[in-house]
Amino acid sequence: MRVVIAEDLFLLRDGLTRMLQAHGLQIAAAVDNGADLLAAVTADQPDVAIVDVRLPPTFTDEGIRAALAARREVPGLPVLVLSQYVEQLYAHELLADQAGAVGYLLKDRVFNDDQFTGAIRTVAAGGTVLDPEVVQKLMVRHSRTEPVARLTPREREVLGLMAEGRSNAAIAQRLFITEKAVSKHAAGIFGKLDLAPSDDDNRRVLAVLAYLGS
Amino acid sequence: MAVLTSPRRTRPRFGPQAGLVAATRGVAFAALMAAGIGLLTLIVAAVFLIALGAGILIVGSGGPHEERVLLAFLAIGTGLSLIRFALPATLLGTRRLARLTRQLAGDWCGVPIAERYTPPPAGKLTYTERLRWLATDPVTRRDLRWTAANLLACALAAAPAAIIATGLIEFIGPEFTRLIPPPAFPGNTPRTLVVLGLAITSVGVLAAPALLRAYGLVARSILAPGGEAELELRVQQLTETRTEALDTGAAEIRRIERDLHDGAQARLVAMGMTLDAAGQIIDSNPDAARALVLEARDASVKALAELRALVRGIHPPVLADRGLADAIRALALDASARISLASDLNGRPPAPVESAAYFAVCELLANVSKHAEARQTWVDIRHTDGMLRIGVTDNGHGGAEPARGTGLRGIERRLAAFDGVLAISSPPGGPTAVTMEVPCALSLPKTSSC
């Protein structure tokens, strides 16, 4: 799998490159600003772009705008945005086109390399990955209102993990239950929230996020 | 609490309609003048009663001794109690009238007049504290001077209405009713009278806008801030707010230092020690060493989370990235309450103002969710006439009082550092509306190369 990295801090760019190479990913380009990112994604056609939110010259939300611009340039380009902090506002903007192949994670998640490379693969395959911290805020917002309040604690756990973009298999592994139990919970949740059930993982994430984000 | 100046500045135009409107407004100004004179009369009456009592005691003419003393004390007593009531009533009343005049001068005469009262001291005021606050404000003297001078100045405002009335009643009136005798001068045929009446009336109508504006200018010459006493007061205000701003800044820095010391710094030390221990046993006991390394990794995640929370409290990233409106939008997304935002900001206020405004809104929204039991909150941000205005309104149960809690006072003090003001309206039963105003200029929106 070919990856383009946009990260302005040398230490992090270098560390990320090494770690991904150690996991068998190929680094097509590692750049330190938004303009170079655009050039790299059009020239190299990578499978996924990993972009830091803060990039020169403004060091504000340059990365978000660069990621959205890159997706306009190369439609459907999988983009994983990394940030020192996560904001629902930015998550909304990244997910707005409903096309999937988007990830938004705290930089801390890089430390857990298995989960991190898992997230990269999910995004590259067209899936959606959302940081647990964003999902937690979404859940808190809905926890006291119907019908989320009617979900059992277990169902709420499963809903949160679905919103993070995890597959049934990943949820089963995480909660130490069988995949069959997960699909049963998922069906229950979709029934209570009045959402159309879907076997497609990505469509499921988007449905759940659209629900929680409303 | 300072008044919110109206952004409207409609200058009366010429023409019959504008003239009639201006004449009517002149009459309204005359009514304000009469009210002011009435208030002054209260004091005069009280002083007169006291003087009368003293006079009866000293001169001591007429009637038996006991009756005289009784009468004298009755007069003095009535005078004193009248003074006790009339003094604050007159001071507050003239202040209200002067403020109304300032506002109307801007709205009606096209002559906006700035206003700068000393803010009331914190807490609930006793009678004497209140009186001292009112009496020591140099603007009070200005207001009193205006109330007296208005008696003459008002001629300007009321003249058009008087001229129009004269033309209509004295000259045109006799043509239509016998009740009014025609004015006696040679050649007063009904025809000339009507022509003269129309001429007089139109002079009044045409002159009204200019005279109203002249009245506004006279009002400004007396009511606008200026003069040494007020400059001194301004210096004193600036010194106070500067001291408060510095104190708040220093306290913030101490808090940040403490948070870093107890939080991230301590965790980094622990991580170093854990990693050191892992290094020592890595050959003898690789499994235990791996466990220690994982522990260090978890500690680093916690340290990062703490740093993030700290940074958010100092200067939220979205505020830095996107400015006030988006930062509050992000706040609204995170909140569990329903918050809707309307903003017409076309640029960004200076960073310190932006930050103060953001944290003020944070605190107000926190207040709403803690106390108001509101179903919905509206935040409204706009910038007009060099003034950033933010309204936070909720449909909760109201009854918020700045005097009771320190929160609103704190916001007020922090805004004061930027000459900003806060006004609150929160009747029991709601709704609560808080309006903040900070004078500032907007910088153009940042453009990016991307």
- Evaluate if residue B13 carries a pLDDT over 80: no
Give residues with Cβ within 8 angstroms of A160, minimum separation 6: A132, A135, A136, A139
Q: Would you call A72 an interface residue with chain B, using a CB distance cutoff of 8 Å?
A: no
* pLDDT band at A111; cut points 50, 70, 90: confident
- Evaluate if residue A196 carries a pLDDT over 70: yes
CA-closest candidate to residue B157, choices B206, B113, B208: B208
What pLDDT is attached to residue B437?
92
Mean per-residue pLDDT, A105-131: 90
CATH number of B322-439: 3.30.565.10
- Evaluate if residue B233 carries a pLDDT over 80: no
What pLDDT is attached to residue B370?
84
List beta partners, residue B348. Answer: B443
What pLDDT is attached to residue A210?
78
pLDDT: which is higher, B82 or B16: B82
Size of interface A-B (CB pairs under 8 A): 57
- Evaluate if residue B376 carries a pLDDT over 80: yes
Query: Cis peptide leading into B112, omega within 30 of 0?
Result: no
CA-closest candidate to residue B130, choices B104, B102, B95: B95
Query: In chain B, what percentage of residues exceed pLDDT 70?
Result: 92
Residues in chain A within 8 Å Cβ distance of B373: none
Mean per-residue pLDDT, B377-405: 86
Q: At what angle do helices B228-260 and B138-165 cross, to 10 degrees?
A: 130
Q: What is the separation of C-alpha B438 from the centre of its chain, rounded to a whole number of angstroms?
A: 11
What pLDDT is attached to residue B60?
65
List beta partners, residue A26. Answer: A2
Q: Would you call A63 an interface residue with chain B, using a CB distance cutoff of 8 Å?
A: no
The residue type at B411: I
pLDDT: which is higher, B175 or B151: B151
For residue range B312-340, what is the model confidence (pLDDT) as tens digits? 888 888 998 889 999 999 888 888 778 99
Whole-number Å distance between alpha carbons of A63 and A53: 4
What pLDDT is attached to residue B448?
42
Residue by residue, DSSP assigns A20-44 as HHHTT-EEEEEESSHHHHHHHHHHH
What pLDDT is attached to residue B43?
86
DSSP code, position A111: G
Considering only B170-179, B346-355, B374-383, which range has the smallest mean pLDDT? B170-179
Give residues with Cβ within 8 angstroms of B447, minimum separation 6: none
A35–B449 C-beta distance less than 8 A:
yes
Identify whether the C-beta of residue A128 lies closer than 8 Å to the C-beta of residue A103: yes
Q: What is the least distance, in Å, from the CA of A66 to any CA of chain B?
A: 7
Beginning with the edge strand found earlier in the chain, give each strand of the sheet holding A128-130 in spatial order: A26-31, A2-6, A48-52, A79-83, A102-106, A128-130
What pLDDT is attached to residue B4?
39
Q: Show me where the domains of chain A are located.
A: 2-130, 134-213
Q: Show me where the domains of chain B are located.
A: 16-226, 245-314, 322-439
For residue range B97-111, what is the model confidence (pLDDT) as tens digits? 888 888 888 888 888
Identify whether the C-beta of residue A82 lies closer than 8 Å to the C-beta of residue A64: no
The CATH architecture one would assign to domain A134-213 is: Orthogonal Bundle (1.10)
Residue by residue, DSSP assigns B4-73 as ------PPPPSSHHHHHHHHHHHHHHHHHHHHHHHHHHHHHHHHHHHHHHHHHHHH--SS-HHHHHHHHH
Identify whether the C-beta of residue B143 lies closer than 8 Å to the C-beta of residue B98: yes
Whole-number Å distance between alpha carbons of A147 and B99: 53
pLDDT: which is higher, B80 or B172: B80
Mean per-residue pLDDT, B285-295: 93
Query: Cis peptide leading into B349, omega within 30 of 0?
Result: no
Whole-number Å distance between alpha carbons of B163 and B208: 10
What pLDDT is attached to residue A25?
93
Q: What is the least distance, in Å, from the CA of B397 to any CA of chain A?
A: 21
Cross-chain CB nearest to B308 (options A85, A88, A137): A85
Q: Would you call A60 an interface residue with chain B, using a CB distance cutoff of 8 Å?
A: yes
What pLDDT is attached to residue B10?
46
> Are A2-130 and A134-213 in the same CATH fold?
no
Mean per-residue pLDDT, A45-73: 90
Q: What are phi and psi of A102, to 5 degrees?
A: -135, 140
Whole-number Å distance between alpha carbons of A113 and A119: 10
Considering the four listed CATH numbers 3.40.50.2300, 1.10.1740.10, 3.50.30.50, 1.10.357.10, the one that applies to the domain covering A2-130 is 3.40.50.2300
Query: Cis peptide leading into B190, omega within 30 of 0?
Result: no
List beta partners, residue A48. Answer: A3
Mean per-residue pLDDT, B245-272: 88
* pLDDT band at B377; cut points 50, 70, 90: very high
Identify whether the C-beta of residue B450 lies closer than 8 Å to the C-beta of residue A66: yes
Local structure of B373: helix, strand or coil: coil
Percent helix, strand, coil in chain A (nearest 5)?
A: 55, 15, 30
For residue range B36-87, what is the model confidence (pLDDT) as tens digits? 888 888 888 888 888 888 888 777 665 667 777 888 888 888 888 888 888 8
Mean per-residue pLDDT, B193-214: 86
Whole-number Å distance between alpha carbons of A43 and A2: 12
B320–A65 C-beta distance less than 8 A:
no
- Evaluate if residue B3 carries a pLDDT over 70: no
Buried b (16+ CB within 10 A) or exposed e, B203-242: ebbbbbbebbbbbbbbbbebbbbeeeebeebeeeeeeebe
Structure tokens at A107: 């930089």
What pLDDT is attached to residue B12?
45
* pLDDT band at A6; cut points 50, 70, 90: very high
Reported as type and span, the H/E element at residue B155 is helix B138-165
What pLDDT is attached to residue B62?
58
* pLDDT band at A23; cut points 50, 70, 90: very high
Q: Would you call A93 an interface residue with chain B, using a CB distance cutoff of 8 Å?
A: no
Query: In chain A, what percentage of residues exceed pLDDT 90?
Result: 38
Cross-chain CB nearest to B321 (options A61, A107, A111): A61
The residue type at A210: A
- Evaluate if residue B230 carries a pLDDT over 80: no
Test the A interface: residue of B298, B326, B333, B376 with most A CBs within 10 Å:
B333
For residue range A124-161, what is the model confidence (pLDDT) as tens digits? 999 899 999 888 888 887 777 767 878 888 888 898 89
Considering only A10-24, B5-19, B314-328, B352-366, which range has the smallest mean pLDDT? B5-19
Mean per-residue pLDDT, B157-184: 80
What pLDDT is attached to residue A28?
93
Q: Identify the residue whose tokens are 């983009």.
A: A79
Local structure of A199: helix, strand or coil: coil
Give chain A's mean pLDDT.
88
* pLDDT band at B9; cut points 50, 70, 90: very low
Could you tell me how many residues make up chain A?
214
Mean per-residue pLDDT, A44-57: 91
Cross-chain CB nearest to A85 (options B317, B329, B450): B317
What pLDDT is attached to residue A21?
93
Q: Would you call B444 an interface residue with chain A, using a CB distance cutoff of 8 Å?
A: no
Residues in chain B within 8 Å Cβ distance of A140: 336
Q: What are phi and psi of A73, to 5 degrees?
A: -70, -50
Question: Chain A neighbours among B 308-367 (CB < 8 Å)?
Answer: 308, 311-312, 317-318, 320-322, 326, 329-330, 333-336
What pLDDT is attached to residue A27?
94
Residues in chain B within 8 Å Cβ distance of A60: 320-322, 446
B312–A108 C-beta distance less than 8 A:
no
Q: What is the least distance, in Å, from the CA of B316 to any CA of chain A?
A: 10
Identify whether the C-beta of residue B344 lies closer than 8 Å to the C-beta of residue B442: no
pLDDT: which is higher, B125 or B415: B415
Q: Identify the residue whose tokens are 């007396």.
A: B222
